[in-house]
Amino acid sequence: PYTATFVSTAITKVQGNQFAAAGVLKVGEASRQITLPLTVSLAKDGSLKLFFESRFSVNRSDFTTENYGGIGP
């Protein structure tokens, strides 16, 4: 199985509860700089928990290398 990780380097407010997280997405051995859209919300139970949601797409072929069999097309 392949592992995907995202490490943010900066988070900026866009407007309201919308943010942009810039950072590095690593899939297998391949890494790419990307910016993810984030929606932030508070827990509905009144606690101080924050929830982050992001939906985005990437080109799978960007993460195919010689060292990584890849998930390309």
Sequential pLDDT tens for the chain (73 residues):
678 899 999 999 999 999 999 999 998 888 999 999 999 998 888 888 989 999 999 888 888 755 545 554 4
What pLDDT does residue 65 have? 56
DSSP per residue, 31-54: EEEEEEEEEEEE-TTSSS-EEEE-
The secondary structure of the chain in percent helix, strand, coil, rounded to multiples of 5, reads 5, 55, 40
